[in-house]
Amino acid sequence: MPFNAIEEREKARQPKNRREKKALAELNGINRIYPVCGYTDEGFVRTKALGFIDGFFEILKVRQYDLYKLDAAQYDALTSGQWNLNKLYAPPLKEVYLNFPEDNQEQQNYWKYKIEHTTDPNRLRVQNFELEKLRYIEKKHRMRNVYLCVFGKTEEELKSRLQDLERFKDHLGQEALSLSDKKRVLSSLNNQL
């Protein structure tokens, strides 16, 4: 189901008193600055530039490489693939590098399950230690993720640009994010701590 924040704002009730008018004016000021105004049926992010130009973009997660583990031939292939992408793909791309906390909730649930079904005190001690290690990693360790933003003025233009990027899939390994992951990325971009 698509969501358009601008249409929702226009449907909102009119302010009744001075305090509501002031709050609405402050909210409208934020909405004029914030470029994201919703999403489409296909999950593309709807945006506005300078408050009046509509556009769309898609956020793709890109494969990551450990350059220290690559041999010379793999490294050369990787750099030439990146060079070809920069030469052959002319439309605007934006690379975004973000640090997110480590997500190991599934492993924690596994150890919680094992703890609940264990009676041996020695195993229980080891399992609790493993669970605490995972909690510490989740709290302290941060993973760097790489995202690629592809832009288009219309949905059709964005779809064609995504099709053009498909030929670089061997090099980039790009995959579209789910809507919840897109919200997480946009929230992290706009709320840096």
Whether 10 shows a pLDDT value over 80: the answer reads no
CA atoms within 13 A on the CB side of 112: 8
pTM over 0.75: no
What are φ and ψ of residue 172, in 5° steps?
Answer: -80, -40
Please write the tens of the pLDDT for every residue from 162-188. 999 888 888 888 888 888 888 888 888
* Distinct helix (H) and strand (E) counts, the chain: 8, 7
The tokens of 145 are what?
A: 């993720």
pLDDT at 163: 92
pLDDT at 5: 65
Please write the tens of the pLDDT for every residue from 40-88. 888 898 887 655 567 898 999 988 888 888 899 988 888 888 888 888 8
Please write the tens of the pLDDT for every residue from 105-149. 899 999 999 999 999 999 999 999 999 999 999 888 888 888 999
User: Can you give the residue ranges of every domain in the chain?
Assistant: 1-34, 39-94+146-190, 105-139
CA atoms within 13 A on the CB side of 52: 0
Question: What's the whole-number mean pLDDT along residues 14-42?
Answer: 74
- Rounded to whole angstroms, how far apart are CA atoms 153 and 47? 9
pLDDT at 6: 64
Residues 65 and 179: beta-carbon distance below 8 Å: no
pLDDT at 38: 81
| DSSP SS3 for 155 | helix
